[in-house]
Structure 1
Amino acid sequence: MGGNALKDHGAQRLSAAEALRIGEKARRAIQALQSNDGAPVRAEIVTAYRNKETYGDIDMVVSDSVKRDFGNASMSELLGNVLGGGQPLPFIANGGVASFGAPLEQGGVFQVDLLYTPASQFDFALSYFSWNDAGNLIGRVAHKMGMKFGHNGLWLPFREGDYLFTEVLVTRDFDKAVRFLGFDIARWRQGFDDLIQLYQFISASKYFDKDIYLLENRSHNARVRDAKRPTYTGFLKWLREAYAGDDFKDWPACKAAWLPQIFAAFPEAEAEWRVAEADLSRQREIKRKFNGELVSSLSGLTGTELGALMQQVRHSFMDKNAFESFILSASESEMEKLVAMQKSLLEGKT
């Protein structure tokens, strides 16, 4: 957040040494907490490029059990005991992120952002957030392949036209994901002294194409978001000034062309994809046999009355599975009887 969440509390930018000192003190305090279920609490500072001289804030990936078991007020007090001389600290929560301010001798505070993360996603998230927005730059390649690369894993959206039906998890093994996307994982593990090294790493992907990064080739929302990211805009500047290559990838017109390659590398994802296909087919059949036009023709109702009847039919079953099983197996006459009976019951209520 760059210190912006606590600007009203006088958030300050600090030298790397002082920022990391505060971050490490907070990390140890959080990791010493005991979760209610006995699971260990993890807290790890997100790694930035090594030559970074100043920090506007520190990002820290933290077990989401901390959010569940302690809450904002308790965390403000607990961290205040460690960093604030016993006084509660400014603490602002926004979804899965919480920001607190460690008080400074010169006045103001230094912002630390806690990125609450489930245990199953922790290692992937820690790598994804590392190296100053590298995950976002890597994710552009995943997007061109029809996938989504985020802090919670590598995913394969399953769509029906423009409608996102579900998402299939491809992998939460960060090394496998990055390698599949054409990047040198051994080079990644070495880390980066500065942003130029990071930019060179991104452009060395075997699938690199500078056109996929240009803001004019992005959606409006992506364009607005990434135009505010210093690492992203710095990469675009580097491409214009330092990148000599003019090669481009001949991307398939249809992203589905990548599916055989994805499934060959991640067979578990193919199995989940086939399940999604079957589920979509099931939902299509349910919609064919139970829809507004059909129920209206059977009942003579329209508008809000029709909507109420359709809800009445759905709620007449024990649960969603029971409703769907009946619809899939019902004959036309059984559907007529069901609609007539529920219409009668609905009219008796009104």
Structure 2
Amino acid sequence: MGGQLFHFPRLPRAEYLRREGQVRAVLHELLPDTPAGPQWFIPLYHADKPDFGDLDVLVSRDALTAPFLAEFRARLGITQTRYVKGIESHDFGGFQLDLMATPPAELRTRFEFMSWGDLGNILGRMMRPLGLKWGESGLLYVYRRPDEAHYLRTYTVSLSIDDVMQAAGLDAAHWHAGFENEAAMFAWAAGASRFSARPYLSPEGDFGRRILERPGLQRFAEFLERAGWVAPAQREPNQPLEVLFELFPQSGLADFLEAEAAAAKRDEVRRSKFSGRLVMELRPELSGKVLGAFMQAFTARPDFWDWVDAATTDEITDRIRAAPAPLNSQT
């Protein structure tokens, strides 16, 4: 992405549109729409974008077969291809053309997130006080257990940008109609009821670094300054779950959180009955790699945790004491 792989120069708009037309013609013939929907998308861009560093094409992973790729390359005269992290980057006559393998269920979502420059990132920042993350895989609720820093789960609240715009307090019709230019898009985004200028005018942490890495976000910050925006003194407050339930009543989020709460209670009981600390107390002769091997062997049964749930503390203790040490425990 961004034309960085081959280090080709950027293409002026007119030449880019000619190249894109060639690619679209080939894709329309080789990958026509199916009853389930399109098999590919090219993200939308502003009418005032003067030049382009590459051409991104999102393609259903199922459609990226060897015969398709061979025919695609042949028709466009591509002789050089590099593969990096799920992206087939092609030398399209001195211009980088990226085919981005995408799970079929996420194809439209990825297209919506990547369209209109950095709008996806701007919308995503508005979702954070809601405990949500908007990205190429959809609108996700990020769940963390308060007492377990390493425990993280995500739940897909929606795959539609319309729901993101509703949550942000924006009129979705503007997104679908398109924007006359980048400045018009910036003004529309800044009009969201959940928008705060603070992350852009007083950047900090990871998002501050992201602004430095993304020219589009830098231009948005400059737009806000020119428009007279002032950063609020406080960060946007995190919203209570009731707000999410009201915004997304059919998402199943409440059921997900109820199941996670039950799982947290279950795991707490399990840890009280069995843990590495308990093994070390009962089998002090085990340590280091030997202890690790013992734990791996002791918990290897597929139904191990079901057994822990049903067993008494005495039964678990007796089994730990009776279990044989690994063969290398004496070395």
**What is residue 261 of structure 1 aligned with on the other side?**
243
Check if 1:114 corresponds to 2:95.
no
**What is residue 154 of structure 2 aligned with on the other side?**
167
1:285 to 263, 269, 275: 269
Give the whole-Å Cα distance in 2 for the aligned partners of 1:246 and 1:3. Answer: 35
Give the whole-Å Cα distance in 1 for the aligned partners of 2:324 and 2:4. Answer: 56
Aligned length: 323
Deviation sequence 1:108-158 (CA, Å, 0-9, x none):
x11112222111111111111100111001111111222111011111110
Give the whole-Å Cα distance in 2 for the aligned partners of 1:259 and 1:278. Answer: 17
How much is the aligned-residue C-alpha RMSD, in angstroms?
A: 2.7
Give the whole-Å Cα distance in 1 for the aligned partners of 2:184 and 2:236. Answer: 29
Alignment of 1:15-94 (within 5 A): 15-30=12-27, 32-33=29-30, 42-67=39-64, 69-70=65-66, 75=69, 77-84=70-77, 88-94=78-84
Aligned-pair CA distance for 1:54: 1.8
Partners of 2:199 and 2:208 within 8 A in 1: no
Check if 1:333 corresponds to 2:314.
yes
Give the whole-Å Cα distance in 1 for the aligned partners of 2:76 and 2:56. Answer: 17
Q: Tell me, which stretches of 5 or more residues in structure 1 are unaligned?
A: 104-108
Deviation sequence 1:44-72 (CA, Å, 0-9, x none):
111100122221211221111244x339x
Give the whole-Å Cα distance in 2 for the aligned partners of 1:270 and 1:276. Answer: 10
Aligned-pair CA distance for 1:337: 2.9
Give the whole-Å Cα distance in 1 for the aligned partners of 2:27 and 2:267. Answer: 45
**What is residue 166 of structure 2 aligned with on the other side?**
179
Partners of 1:41 and 1:62 within 8 A in 2: no
Amino acid at match of 2:84: N
Amino acid at match of 2:49: K
Deviation sequence 1:226-277 (CA, Å, 0-9, x none):
3121111001111112x23448497665x3x331111122231221222222
Give the whole-Å Cα distance in 2 for the aligned partners of 1:59 and 1:249. Answer: 39
Partners of 2:46 and 2:116 within 8 A in 1: yes
SS in 2 for 1:89: coil
Give the whole-Å Cα distance in 2 for the aligned partners of 1:298 and 1:32. Answer: 69
SS in 2 for 1:4: coil
Identity %: 25
Q: Tell me, which stretches of 5 or more residues in structure 2 are unaligned?
A: none
CA gap 1:339/1:24 in 2 versus in 1, 3 angstroms: farther
Partners of 1:51 and 1:194 within 8 A in 2: yes
SS in 1 for 2:254: helix
Alignment of 1:131-142 (within 5 A): 131-142=116-127
TM-score, scaled to structure 1: 0.83
**What is residue 106 of structure 1 aligned with on the other side?**
none
Give the whole-Å Cα distance in 2 for the aligned partners of 1:280 and 1:33. Answer: 49
Residues 222-231 or 130-139, more deviating = 222-231
Aligned-pair CA distance for 1:5: 1.2
SS in 2 for 1:278: helix
Partners of 2:168 and 2:195 within 8 A in 1: no
